[in-house]
Amino acid sequence: MEIIEKKIHEELYIPYEAQKLFDSKRTCFFDIETTGFSRQKDSIILIGLLYYENNCIVINQLFANNPKEETLILSDFKSLISKFECYVTYNGDVFDIPFLNYKYKSKNYDFQLNKNKSIDLLKIVRTNKHKLGLTDCKLKTVEKFLDLHRDDKITGKESIELYKKYVRTKDEEIKEKILMHNHDDIYYLPKILKLFDHIDEKMNYEFCIQIDKNVINLKFNLNDIIISGDVLSIKGSTSQPSIASQAYYGTNYTFILDNEKSTFNLRFDMYNGYLSDGKKCLYVDKNDYSLNIITKDTTNYILPENIIIIKEEHRLIYDNIISIVKEIICKIFK
């Protein structure tokens, strides 16, 4: 068994929202490579672990020259991971951690990785997939979205086949390909935290309206949307021009501008319905509005011109919501 250590003199950027997750805990990132997906039949042959220390990124790779060295890897990884209060993975809660814990238990180690210490970035990607406009949650899809370009060109499946060949031939070039695959998995894992900046950017929206000669900036966060029955409401903040608070009441909407609190609140009615694929939805009928709403639906459904989907099953259609919120408010003041 080999331990390969690499130090990279590079800052480790942690977005503010991610820092709140770590809560100043000593944190590492790790990823395992195995000979297959069965905890019972397959072996762990490589673990990469990354952490930040003395203004330097440190990567440790524990590599088994043959599957029989799995016990040595488990022992050394236990010593390494025990130094950390928090660990970050990609799909680790489903694959890496249960795989490791099974191995520790089957080999009678008095040790288990605690899922309460785990931050699985795949869960965060899944939760925010539609906000970010991702087609799927694969690691390579996320890396492409963040414009991350790795040197490694092989897949996890190819890595498994290469390892089998390495055990037979001891070809150092094959070994380097396997190590590079794991190295890039672990090196780019912290960089995926940049998603938090993109999520924050996608969730915050700002635009201006003009009342008389006063220009007012309005800001809202899509996380502040509340849906109660068939009514959507969203609260945001405003700049503070010297105008009086005011309220506008339409047949199917209410808009209140509270200058004292520098806030606004928009509420509008929706309808319950079903889409062509049988999914439940909430939608707005533009014909209900005297404001001449021109916003168009952005989903892929074939819909009448007057229909805008606000919610599909449990998924909010954020692009539609942003457009209609902005248009209702702007046209109120026109």
pLDDT digits (tens, 9 = 90+) for 299-331: 999 999 999 999 999 889 999 999 999 999 999
Q: Which of 64-68, 88-92, 149-153 is predicted least confidently?
A: 149-153
Element (H, E) at 34: strand 27-34
Angle, CA 163 vertex, CA 162 and CA 169 arms, to 5°: 85
17-31 mean pLDDT: 91
Please determine, for residue 285, whether its predicted confidence score (pLDDT) is greater than 80. Answer: yes
Confidence of residue 211 (pLDDT cuts 50, 70, 90): confident
pLDDT confidence of residue 241: 67
200-205 mean pLDDT: 86
Where on the phi/psi map is residue 147: left (φ > 0), alpha (ψ -120 to 50), or beta?
A: left
Q: Are strands 204-211 and 231-238 parallel, antiparallel or unpaired?
A: unpaired
Please determine, for residue 263, whether its predicted confidence score (pLDDT) is greater than 70. Answer: yes
pLDDT confidence of residue 95: 96
Could you give the residue ranges of the DSSP H alpha helices within the chain?
16-22, 70-81, 97-106, 121-132, 139-145, 156-169, 172-188, 195-203, 318-332
Side chain identity at 288, as an amino acid letter?
D
pLDDT confidence of residue 326: 93
pLDDT digits (tens, 9 = 90+) for 173-198: 999 999 999 999 999 999 999 999 99
CA-nearest of 181, 195, 197, 182 to 146 is 195
Structure-block tokens of residue 5:
């250590």
pLDDT confidence of residue 242: 67
Pick the CATH number of 2-199 from 3.90.1150.10, 3.30.9.10, 3.30.420.10, 3.40.190.10: 3.30.420.10
Separation CA 135–CA 137 (nearest Å): 7
Please determine, for residue 24, whether its predicted confidence score (pLDDT) is greater than 90. Answer: no
Q: What percent of the chain has a predicted confidence (pLDDT) above 90? A: 75
- Dihedral (Cα; 193, 313, 297, 256), 10-degree rounding: -80
- When computed from its CA atoms, the radius of gyration of the chain, rounded to whole angstroms, is 26
Indicate the DSSP class of residue 227: E
pLDDT confidence of residue 141: 92
pLDDT confidence of residue 65: 94
pLDDT digits (tens, 9 = 90+) for 79-129: 999 999 999 999 999 999 999 999 999 999 999 999 899 999 999 999 888
pLDDT confidence of residue 209: 86
Sequence ranges of the domains in the chain = 2-199, 212-332
Q: What is the CA 108 to chain-centroid distance, rounded?
A: 36
CA-nearest of 129, 132, 77, 121 to 99 is 77
Please determine, for residue 203, whether its predicted confidence score (pLDDT) is greater than 90. Answer: no
pLDDT confidence of residue 21: 86
Please determine, for residue 17, whether its predicted confidence score (pLDDT) is greater than 90. Answer: no
Please determine, for residue 73, whether its predicted confidence score (pLDDT) is greater than 90. Answer: yes
**What integer best gives the mean pLDDT of the chain?**
92
